[in-house]
Chains A and B, each alone.
Chain A
């Protein structure tokens, strides 16, 4: 193993085995494997990427190429709450930009980043398809609609309070 491999934190690769056993031999399954991997780890650990490359017989560069092409994949772990801000057209027309700016300012992070306390990860998504509730954000799969910048911030304040109380 060379230098670059050494720096990768060693994930528990055993949990990947069932996924690889099911899909590694099926041509064209790389994206599916990466999706299942992300389901396991919450993101794509770099050593998992190398391991997958080896097992599907692809060059690591190719797997990295796929992992970085699609917006679903993350190469870094996410926070406890994944906040997805819908940037669909209906949301835009109904003022999502201001909601996004308020959330971003409140958390002090930009899209794609995670707060230092590991609580919140912010992500812009194309469209959550709840256009009639626009503007919408989704937090760990739950939709919050008809938002204003203040409402959005108060949702986050509540979550923060809840976490603080724990």
Chain B
């Protein structure tokens, strides 16, 4: 066979005469996307991804099936080719029913590999579980206790009966690891010689410090408070997060080599410009430490205190004088922390004033439940109209009675005042837990958003100042949950490393295939109730700050972890389809329509077939007949309704499958999986 010379995307290459464009390009380092080609099988030409333009020809050609000819000038990436390829991928995706990643993973702001660590917990490998968790969350024992776990709200097991207790399982594994003789210790990269300073030692600051330190950078964290931990240390009450646990996790970070400097307030103890000058990059993770105002008459009275201010005092060891009767305003988790802390501080009567109903309250239901158990009285559909004082001190609250009107932008029904209807509530202390804000003192040169938070570019995480980055509650969208702050800090850490290396950053959200499912899809699934966390009785817990929860038993935790449905695709790392789907933006939803019936079957011995993921490339059928010479798999039906199905009638064949497995190996998606 002779040699021929062709040009692909302007690059000249030599190939064997008679060989296909696809092969010659591949041998010369140009990959032409394809999903139905395999060099050992007969050419099939179905997927339409390998379409290329050949100079002088009117139509597009399949690179997998077109023999290259001497002098051919081929383009694999023109506008026309991209268009055809994009539609092909969109069409495939519009009929590809699978989850690249589990819903828990996608809905965890930090994108923790939940399915991965639950599996390790189920297997009893807590250290391995912690290793997986710590790829995203450096302080899992703490976060596991306090996270409002959006992962659980999206856990698909909720369609069977109840979601997994993901957060507590995380805490369980992390506790075990911390208590072990040889806790997980991550490997650190070689020192880079770069100096990074982080302002704020809360979840965001600690997380960035951890990952940047592992990256080989020299990291110093400054914090205004006496101890590290930020809101976890000074906002969250002890009964939810024992500070000993937090301290252990912070020490582990410190042991990695992060320098931690407490009691240093920027602008007072050290100038911001000074820090900027001393370090190669700076991350502001200062948090949102000032309480939002209620905005009603009497707010200046003695006895009115912000929710986080109150919690901070208690966490600093003070026992504030709150009197006998306390009114907490707000329906969020801070309000719950405040009311339950107030109970523990000895208040006899604690009220929660919330302008909507329980159903709309952003606080976790379990928090409301436990607060009620501890004696807190909820006054839903009321809103403070005035704080009535006597001698400059709070005496009572005048409450406007509310009712629910039309839904607002967030979809919640909007509370509207019932005209002329008021109530009076006696109170010694009013705690306003309706929100918290960033206080920019000390960072005068940092530009702010309209809402008064630090502006950080969504992609580069950089503020208006060169080399200054920002993450967490102080930034952009403002105060949110800890895991979100951690997620932002993780991104910022990557952005800072890229910045230090002089590389561009591009945090495009990858395209994932996602399933939409309903209870009906799981009608036949065996129901196993969610593990119940052992909780101290209200009587035993309401007058002290001991942890409310006692933690899962080992048996409980392993069984709970086994409830995981393992929604994420086993083939994600190797899936060619998703790789191509992410090369350029695609919008398969515009072609949303009927999809193939989706089910998982184990008709083939040792191989599981997920029909929803099958893209009908026919590779499995072809390898089964051409290479294995069996023909167990075959195409059934015609057109859109075509499916691949096994058909066999003797047990020898099934025995054969156990050792062959060619079909599962060759499947370009996760439709076929080897099961042991």
Contact = CB atoms under 8 A, between A and B. Distances in A.
Interface of A: 1-2, 4-5, 50, 58-62, 64-65, 68-71
Contacts of B637: 68-69
Given A2-B651, A2-B654, A71-B638, 14 more contacts: A1-B649, A2-B650, A59-B625, A59-B631, A59-B632, A59-B648, A60-B647, A61-B621, A61-B646, A62-B625, A64-B647, A68-B636, A68-B637, A68-B638
A69 B648 CA distance: 18
Contacts of A62: 625, 631, 634
Interface string B620-659: 0100010000111111111000000111111100100000
A134 B309 CA distance: 84
Contacts of A61: 621, 631-634, 645-648
Contacts of A59: 625, 630-632, 634, 647-648
Given A2-B654, A59-B625, A59-B630, A65 B649 contact: no
Given A1-B650, A2-B650, A59-B630, A64 B638 contact: no
Given A2-B650, A59-B625, A64 B631 contact: no
Contacts of B636: 64-65, 68
Given A59-B625, A69-B637, A69-B638, A64 B645 contact: yes
Nearest to A2: B651
Nearest to A59: B631
Contact of B634 (A2, A4, A64, A71): A64
B648 A60 contact: yes
Given A59-B630, A62-B631, A2 B649 contact: yes
A1 B651 CA distance: 7
A65 B635 contact: yes
27 contacts: A1-B649, A1-B650, A2-B648, A2-B651, A2-B654, A5-B649, A59-B625, A59-B631, A59-B634, A59-B648, A60-B634, A60-B647, A60-B649, A61-B621, A61-B631, A61-B645, A61-B646, A61-B647, A62-B631, A62-B634, A64-B636, A65-B634, A68-B636, A69-B635, A69-B637, A70-B638, A71-B638
Contacts of A58: 631
Most buried by B among A1, A60, A64, A65: A65
Nearest to A5: B649
A1 B633 CA distance: 18
Shortest 10 CB-CB contacts between residues of A and residues of B: A59-B631, A61-B634, A61-B647, A65-B634, A60-B647, A68-B636, A65-B635, A68-B637, A5-B649, A64-B647
A65 B624 CA distance: 14
Listed residue (B633, B637, B646, B647) with the most chain A CB atoms within 10 angstroms of its CB: B647
B625 to A, nearest CB: 7
Contacts of A60: 634, 647-649
A13 to B, nearest CB: 14
Interface residues of B, number: 19
A53 to B, nearest CB: 8
Interface string B105-147: 0000000000000000000000000000000000000000000
Contacts of A64: 634, 636, 645, 647
Nearest to A51: B649
A58 B632 CA distance: 10
Contacts of B633: 61
B108 to A, nearest CB: 42
A64 B636 CA distance: 7
Contacts of A1: 649-650
Nearest to B638: A69
B649 A50 contact: yes
A65 B638 CA distance: 9
A151 B650 CA distance: 52
Nearest to A69: B638
B387 to A, nearest CB: 69
Contacts of B645: 61, 64
A4 B632 contact: no
A141 B636 CA distance: 28
Contacts of B635: 65, 69
Contacts of B647: 59-61, 64
A60 B624 CA distance: 13
Scoring A50, A68, A71 by chain B CB atoms within 10 A of each residue's CB, the highest score goes to: A68
Nearest to B650: A2
Contacts of A65: 634-636
A96 B16 CA distance: 57
Nearest to A71: B638
A65 B643 CA distance: 10
Nearest to B621: A61
A62 B646 CA distance: 10
Contacts of B651: 2
Contacts of B631: 58-59, 61-62
B484 to A, nearest CB: 51
Contacts of B654: 2
Nearest to A58: B631
Nearest to A60: B647
Contacts of A4: 648-649
A42 to B, nearest CB: 21
B623 to A, nearest CB: 13
A118 B665 CA distance: 46
A61 B621 CA distance: 10
A58 B654 CA distance: 17
A110 B635 CA distance: 25
Which has the most chain B C-beta neighbours within 10 Å: A59, A62, A69, A71? A59
A147 to B, nearest CB: 28
A67 to B, nearest CB: 9
Contacts of A50: 649
A4 B631 CA distance: 17
Nearest to B643: A68
A1 B630 CA distance: 17
Contacts of B638: 68-71
A100 to B, nearest CB: 20
Contacts of A2: 648-651, 654
- Most interface-central of B631, B637, B649 (chain A CB within 10 A): B649
Contacts of A69: 635, 637-638
B135 to A, nearest CB: 43
A65 B616 CA distance: 14
Nearest to A61: B634
Nearest to B654: A2
A50 B647 CA distance: 9
A84 to B, nearest CB: 18
Most buried by A among B634, B645, B654: B634
Nearest to B639: A69
A101 to B, nearest CB: 20
B647 to A, nearest CB: 4
Contacts of B650: 1-2
A34 B625 CA distance: 22
Contacts of A68: 636-638
Nearest to B652: A2
Nearest to B625: A59
A92 to B, nearest CB: 19
A64 B634 CA distance: 8
Contacts of B649: 1-2, 4-5, 50, 60
